[in-house]
Chain A
Amino acid sequence: MNLILNPTLDEAPPLRTHRGIVTSHDFLTTPPAAAMMQEGLDDGPDFLSEEDRGPRAVNVDLQTDATLQVDISDALSERDKVKFTVHTKSTLPNFKQNEFSVVRQHEEFIWLHDSFVENEEYAGYIIPPAPPRPDFDASREKLQKLGEGEGSMTKEEFTKMKQELEAEYLAIFKKTVAMHEVFLCRVAAHPVLRKDLNFHVFLEYNQDLSVRGKNKREKMEDFFKNVVKSADGVLVAGVKDVDDFFEHEKTFLLEYHNRVKDASAKSDRMIRSHKSAADDINRIASTLYTLGTQDSTDVCKFFLKVSELFEKTRKIEARVAADEDLKLADLLKYYLRESQAAKDLLYRRGRALVDYENANKALDKARAKNKDVLQAETSQQVCCQKFEKISESAKQELIDFKTRRVAAFRKNLVELAELELKHAKGNLQLLQSCLGVLKGDT
């Protein structure tokens, strides 16, 4: 993977990841998040349980006759957009070929997601949450500041900081690739959504989908729609459900969603402090190195050894923060979005229930007045069908959601604990050996 960065950065550097190709460049050379298993730092976030996730390894077939495997095999970051290469392998008859790739941008993913949300047929399913927009602003800003401050630090410091920031940029990049891939895999694994026509077009149509981002007016419309929806949501939520299962789910999801939100925010803050502390140790290591190279007395050699130790422990501390970020923070963020999607499902069902009850009332009124009875009957039938259809699939969806959630949490928490143990052991070993050397000298 080639990473070219100029200090006087005013545009994002072109950044590619390519599956399987390893170059001998300075920086990390890793295939995209989906397929990598390169130590803790590069473990892709695993939000889906084993069962539900789209097959990661190429040679695993989930279904016998109609496989659909989707992944993001390549990604290119330029200026202010990221281009994802969506690679599909399928034996479904709908596709012209068995294996093909297209290039997609973030807006096209959003278009696909929105098309699911707006489709009445899918009202009874949890729509996989849309991947967040790739956001390199913070990282880019830091790189720029670094470029401006180049004169005020030594060459070593500059190179070191540059490496740090580039690694951070790369990490954000890998994350965004992973998020987009997870979205596609969830759709591909869903028994109904995978058959969606828009999805197939998304996967196969090798021209630009001409999906432009929403203009100002549309964004305003969206905003108002959301306001109306949340107000309505409150009203609908107030209606007590006859069904115990859904009533329980409603209360549960509301509380859960809020707590996940809180946990997500707190974990972000904690990880940020961790990263700042690691940065400080980095700077301390550099200064100790400078002190150590001033001459060759005993004390200076001592400083050099300590500087080396701090360098190494800092790397480990940075890894710990990165692992927490991947396994904990990202997990929480994802389930924040999914629990919102589940809430949306409940809202749609609630809405349908209210409509059904209203239709019932209208029918009774019509019968009483003996006016427009047929019309009221048909409208009541429609509402009833809609409501029942949603309820049926919603129940299963919510149960699946729970299973997925528990499995994902389990997997990530266990992996996180194992990684932290590994790092703690690593740190211990470094400290013990360094202390041994230092004490031996004195």
Chain B
Amino acid sequence: MEPSAPGNLRCFSKKKRDLTKPVNVFHSTGDGMNAYMAYKVSTQTTLPMFRSKMFTVRRRFSDFLGLYEKLLDKHAQSGYIVPPPPEKSIMGMTKVKVGKEDNSSAEFVEKRRAALERYLQRVVCHPSLLQDPDVREFLERDDMPRAHSTQALSGAGFLKMINRATDAVSKMTIKMNESDVWFEDKLLEVEAEDQQLRKLHIMVESLVGHRKELSVNTAGFAKSVAMLGSSEDNTALSRALSQLAEVEDKMEQLHQDQAASDSFCLAELLADYIRLLGSVRASFDQRMKTWQRWQDAQNMLQKKRETEAKLLWANKPDKLQQAKDEITEWEAKVTQYEKDFDRVSSTVRKEVLRFEKEKARDFKKQIIKYLESLLQSQQQVEFWTLVCIHNRLFHTFF
């Protein structure tokens, strides 16, 4: 992902912030199952907080997950939407490790690389996350300690956690006296959208599958027509049939390219946003937690007040002071937690609005890119069909 011109609401709207981050793939190191893919992360920046203007580091997939884990630990409870990295994929990675040199493993590596790049782009586009020293370290530091315990935080595991948490949250929402209906509405919207995107993703994957199938079947058909043409004893028809076979061969390639485009442009976009929506729900979940903490503190305060009242009535002056101290303590907590809740609420709100703007931009850009690739492919189809008509069929027959 490249930054666009400054001026619109994007990461690079302020003059100093110039950050480009292409992620390239390094060849794999080690052998067999111990092999790992190293990714080359190159940064170009004019920001003063970095040591130099251009630098490159090597990172493993688990490093990316480690970064995510750190960011989640630090920022999630404030209500920030922390962008999630792509999922771990045991099968995909194993094929690559075992050295399977075929289209599907090349495709997998490219998809992963692109997904990691988009992940980093989202992180650095986030004004608050960019300031985090862990991000800086990730981009700059030459050798990083291996991130462990990323098992629980791999994409799938994370989503499972979120789903469980969100279920708990939905049970809570019924009880929550929502003073601001915006949050309730927004959460419903997010959930509905999540459902639709998942449906869409399945359909796009199905389309990719069928196009790949079409490509294979077209190749089979082309060969078959070529055979038919060679056994046809009328020379003109024979030539026409072999021309048809050639055109179908070209179509096969086009279908193949189209399937790749469907996959890369559309399916990956949808997968990203399904993960991101998970993060959005997580931030709502955080807000819920802070609300709960505030409520719990209020209940505790109430209890302490009751204790005080009881002590007054029972006339036990020695314990009374303790009770009064506790009341003061909890009154402070209640105030603090209320402030926290308000702060988190406003962060979540801001984050959601920012997220929506970014999402709109992302979708528009990607879909336009996809349509442009469709256009190119149609132009090719038109070209080859014209060749078929004008060059051969007519000259052959007339």
Give the interface of A toward B (CB within 8 A).
252, 255-256, 259-260, 262-263, 266-267, 269-270, 272-274, 276-277, 280-281, 283-284, 287-288, 290-291, 294-295, 297-299, 302-303, 306, 309, 313, 402, 405-406, 409-410, 413-414, 417-418, 420-421, 424-425, 427-428, 431-432, 434-435, 438-439, 442
Contacts and interface: CB of A to CB of B under 8 A. Distances in A.
Interface in B221-237: 221, 223-225, 227-228, 231-234, 236-237
B382 interface: yes
Nearest to A313: B374
Given A280-B207, A421-B386, A431-B374, A290 B196 contact: yes
Contacts of A409: 237, 240-241
Contacts of A291: 193, 196-197, 200
A413 B203 contact: no
A403 B58 CA distance: 69
B232 A277 contact: no
Contact of A421 (B234, B364, B379, B385): B385
Interface centre among B234, B236, B360, B385 (most CB of A within 10 A): B385
B368 A277 contact: no
Nearest to A251: B231
B228 A421 contact: no
22 contacts: A259-B228, A262-B224, A263-B228, A270-B218, A270-B220, A276-B213, A276-B214, A280-B204, A287-B196, A291-B193, A291-B197, A291-B200, A299-B356, A410-B237, A410-B393, A414-B397, A428-B375, A428-B378, A428-B382, A431-B374, A435-B375, A438-B364
A267 B379 CA distance: 23
Contact of B371 (A260, A272, A309): A309
A417 B392 CA distance: 11
Contacts of A256: 228, 231-232
Interface residues of B, number: 54
A284 B266 CA distance: 11
Given A256-B232, A284-B200, A434 B371 contact: yes
Interface string B383-395: 0011011000100
B393 A270 contact: no
B119 to A, nearest CB: 22
Interface of B: 189, 192-193, 196-197, 199-200, 203-204, 206-207, 210-211, 213-214, 217-218, 220-221, 223-225, 227-228, 231-234, 236-237, 240-241, 244, 356, 359-360, 363-364, 367-368, 371-372, 374-375, 378-379, 381-382, 385-386, 388-389, 393, 397
A442 B368 contact: yes
A342 to B, nearest CB: 13
Contacts of B364: 299, 302, 438, 442
B225 to A, nearest CB: 6
Contacts, number: 152
B271 to A, nearest CB: 15
A413 B375 contact: no
B234 A287 contact: no
A263 B225 contact: yes
Nearest to B200: A287
Contacts of B228: 256, 259-260, 262-263
A406 B234 contact: yes
Contact of A417 (B204, B227, B372, B388): B388
Contacts of B240: 409-410, 413
Given A280-B210, A299-B360, A438-B367, 12 more contacts: A259-B224, A262-B227, A270-B218, A291-B197, A297-B360, A298-B360, A313-B374, A413-B244, A417-B388, A427-B381, A431-B378, A442-B364
A119 to B, nearest CB: 30
A410 B393 CA distance: 8
Given A262-B227, A406-B236, A431 B203 contact: no
Nearest to A265: B224
A270 B221 contact: yes
A277 B221 contact: no
